[in-house]
Amino acid sequence: MSLRRFRRAVALGLVLILCLLRLVTFRLRGPLTLKRRALWLQSSAHLVIASLGIRYRIQGQPPESGLLVSNHLSYLDIVLYAAALPCCFVSKAEIGSWPLFGLFARAGGTLFVDRSSRVSAEQVTEQVAERLKGPVPILFFPEGTSTDGSRLLRFHSRLYNPAVAAAAPVTAASIRYVIEDGTPERELCWFGDALFLPHLWKALGTRGFFVDVQFGEPHIYADRRIAADRTYAEIEAMRNQGVLELQ
């Protein structure tokens, strides 16, 4: 067992306990509104990132409202985006049942969707429409799953519908992992049949890496498919530009 992996695991465990204690404090100070949940999640994400020694760079201006869409590489994406801005997430239903991490997701105001259920998708779409009236952006990953980063999957357009109907801004964002020793990004990506805990254990032992998060400009769209296609192209361009910068 490497000292680095053990040290990070202990630090992460202590930080998660601290974050739960701070959640209790948040509850005692007043109702857990969506904005207060997002702020708690943001402060917790900062602590988690510090405990893991992750360095990150933010390019562009994080949005203050509307819909935020991004490519999806890992569970770490959620931590990085939560640290970058107060927001709430749309996530697959399974995460809500995960030990501890599911609790954090629920406490942070995450909406859970069962992608195999049309009824669940319709319910979450209605909830997104309601939250677009609120004080924090809603982030979802239109690929519908995390990938190895080699290419973007086709974007699902259903959850763009509420933003189109409300003429709410839609902002594209991209995330990239760069491992200092030149190891391919895919080694930090969580995809396919990889199990969560073994992958987390491997990630904890990664020598050093930083994360590049880039935000585009917000746009209003009149059609959900156009919104999906244009944000796809924008995110693909951000990812390609990142490759050029690294060469």
pLDDT one-digit tens code per residue, 63-76: 999 999 999 999 99
Which residues of the chain fall below pLDDT 50? 244, 247
The DSSP bridge pattern shows strands 88-92 and 111-113 to be parallel
The pLDDT assigned to 171 comes to: 98
* Structure confidence by residue, pLDDT tens digits, 141-199: 999 999 999 999 999 999 999 999 999 999 999 999 999 888 899 999 999 989 888 99
Classify domain 3-246 at the CATH class level.
alpha beta
> What does the radius of gyration of the chain's CA atoms come to, in whole angstroms?
17
Q: What is the pTM of this model?
A: 0.93
Return contacts of 192-200, CB within 8 angstroms, 24+ apart: 192/148, 196/75, 196/98, 200/75
